[in-house]
Chain A
Amino acid sequence: MSTFRVIAVREMRLALRNRSILITAIIFAVWFPVMSAVGIAAAAGGDAAAVAGGIAAITLPVGVFMGYIFCADAFLREKRDGTIETLLCAPISLRRLWEGKAAGVAVPAYLMTLVSAAVTAATVAGLTGAPVAAEPLLLVHLAIVVPVWIAAAAGLIGAAQLALGMRENQILGFALIFGFIFLVAGLQQAVPGGPGISAATEAVLAAIGAALLALARFIAGKVTKERIVRTIP
């Protein structure tokens, strides 16, 4: 098994064993979609495209926030406990360690986001009395755009958590997560076609997600072991 997979699998296992993080993620995956579904059902009525657009609009912020929740275990806890220092002595590069951890965060965050999308769709269907159609663009959104953004969020937040001290993490963590969410909302408004789902919206979101992922990789490459060790509390 490659070291990338070893690290990613371990982070996924740890995430699934962290009761408090799982409960937070599940509450967010259910509560937020249910609240949003009421608005989606009221605004869209029976319009399948509008319902798909509504679901697409909430899955990105949910996915980014899920990434933030799971990063707390994979990156921040490891640093707070000091166990990251032992991992930095292993025969792997810092980039490989970051990649494995980011993947280990992104997978459960993505799965929880899919659960959230399913809950939203079920709630909207329940409220409108009509099943939510499987819009091709919504499937593209869930299969491509959402995982790319979650990976970018996990990578950026993880790199920041490795590089920053605990106090800076508390402040900048929130700044980063809300920055992400405002960016998502702003893009959904700014792209031609508005907040609904369209090929243009999905193309722009996918491109920007890929750019953010590349940015995360670039920033992670700038983080040094010295920086991490010197900011361990």
Chain B
Amino acid sequence: MNAVEVRGLSRSFDGRDILSDVSFTVGHGEIFGYLGPNGAGKTTTIRILLGLLAPGAGEVRVLGRDLAVDDDARRRVGVLFENNGLADRMSAAGNLTYYAGLYGVDDPAERIDELLTLVDLADRKDDLVGTFSTGMKRKLGIARAILHRPEVVFLDEPSSGLDPGAQRMVRDLILELSRREEMTVFLNSHHLDEVQRICSTVAILAGGRIRAFDTVAHLTAASDRPTVTVALSGRDDRVRACEVARALPFVVGCDADGDTLHCTLAEPGATPDLVGALVGANFRIEEVRRSSRSLEEIYLEHVGRAEGGP
């Protein structure tokens, strides 16, 4: 059984399709990145998974349960929305104590101290949350979301509105929590760099449909048309080298940039043939590197396609 299962999910609002036949699964212990442009339906998906909105069609399960009707199953799930779910007029400890009461946390004082130490807010325990910075509130929000030791935690844009330092802090915190608490993390994010660094699996949602769903390693490494970077000796004629490369049947494109060539191959296994052809044409090669695409490139490609781009 997967931690999260979404099968054939569709939903429309006021006659406009937001989600169309969305399907994916998230395994136990994974950090899953759910990507998509604004309005793609990411938050709608999370709300349906959490039982806040009803699916138009299809089925969703979290830990095998339907959270819309199973009050008790929600005890095993944590959530952080953009607003953190905190009351400004209560202290950090007061906010956590409130949620500990709602979730029936055993020995809440000890757990609250442990989490406040983990998120580096132990010295602000009794301060009103209204006096906290955005980053501090986000850290406290994450502590609140995992207070009851959930098996799955949904984080909706946890780095939104944070400066780069705070984003890194949140990223490290998610990794630390995933490792320490062994929980499944469902991360809804716009920060592709963040997702590439911490997620094991991603799904890209655009135009209401899943455009890609795979492990980050596989998505970024595998490509139908891999790119190879070839560093030539400084004295070699790069323009002629490009012409030689372009003449090869398995090279679909080649650009020169300084001392290097960027060759796009028609097939993944053609790199040795390219190197052999260049060496055979008396070019001296200093380095050959297979380039993997960034998640950002893959994301923009899928979103561009969904929006009718090239």
B89 touches A90 (CB 8 A): no
Residues of A within 8 A of B87 (CB): 10, 14, 83
B53 touches A85 (CB 8 A): no
**Is A222 interfacial (CB-CB < 8 Å)?**
no
Given contacts A91-B74, A91-B75, A226-B54, contact A85 B83 (CB under 8 A): yes
Q: CB-nearest residue of chain A relative to B71?
A: A91
Complex Cα spacing A10 to B73, Å: 24
Q: CB-nearest residue of chain A relative to B99?
A: A90
**Is A88 interfacial (CB-CB < 8 Å)?**
yes
Q: Out of A86, A91, A226, which one reaches B83, CB within 8 Å?
A: A86
**Is B77 interfacial (CB-CB < 8 Å)?**
yes
A89 touches B79 (CB 8 A): yes
A225 touches B102 (CB 8 A): no
Q: What is the CB-to-nearest-CB distance from B133 to chain A, in angstroms, rounded to a whole number?
A: 17
Residues of B within 8 A of A7 (CB): 102
Complex Cα spacing A1 to B94, Å: 15
What string of 1s and 0s marks CB contacts (under 8 Å) between A56-88 and chain B? 000000000000000000000000011101111
**Using a CB-CB cutoff of 8 Å, which residues 29-65 of chain B contact chain A?**
47, 50-54
| Interface residue range, chain A | 20 to 34
Q: Out of B73, B86, B102, which one reaches A3, CB within 8 Å?
A: B102
B81 touches A85 (CB 8 A): yes
Given contacts A6-B101, A229-B53, contact A93 B71 (CB under 8 A): yes
**Is A92 interfacial (CB-CB < 8 Å)?**
yes
What string of 1s and 0s marks CB contacts (under 8 Å) between B1-28 and chain A? 0000000000001000000000000000
Complex Cα spacing A81 to B103, Å: 22
Q: What is the CB-to-nearest-CB distance from B218 to chain A, in angstroms, rounded to a whole number?
A: 32
Q: Out of B50, B68, B82, which one reaches A82, CB within 8 Å?
A: B82
Q: Out of B13, B85, B102, which one reaches A85, CB within 8 Å?
A: B85
Q: CB-nearest residue of chain A relative to B47?
A: A229
B102 touches A83 (CB 8 A): no
Given contacts A92-B102, A226-B52, contact A82 B71 (CB under 8 A): no
Label chain A's interface by main secondary structure.
helix
A91 touches B103 (CB 8 A): yes
Q: What is the CB-to-nearest-CB distance from A211 to chain B, in angstroms, rounded to a whole number?
A: 29
Centre residue among B75, B83, B85 by max chain A CB count within 10 A: B85
Centre residue among A1, A14, A86, A229 by max chain B CB count within 10 A: A86
A87 touches B52 (CB 8 A): no
A10 touches B98 (CB 8 A): yes
B98 touches A6 (CB 8 A): yes
**Is A17 interfacial (CB-CB < 8 Å)?**
yes
**Is B72 interfacial (CB-CB < 8 Å)?**
yes
Given A89-B52, A90-B103, 9 further pairs, Cβ under 8 A: A18-B89, A83-B83, A85-B81, A85-B85, A89-B51, A89-B74, A92-B102, A225-B51, A229-B47
Q: A residues touching B (Cβ–Cβ < 8 Å)?
A: 1, 3, 6-7, 10, 13-14, 17-18, 81-83, 85-93, 225-226, 229-230
Q: Give me 22 A-to-B residue pairs in the complex whose CB atoms sit less than 8 angstroms apart, sorted by A's number.
A: A1-B101, A3-B102, A6-B98, A13-B90, A14-B89, A18-B89, A82-B81, A83-B87, A85-B52, A86-B83, A86-B85, A87-B102, A89-B51, A89-B52, A89-B67, A89-B77, A90-B74, A90-B99, A91-B72, A225-B51, A226-B54, A230-B53
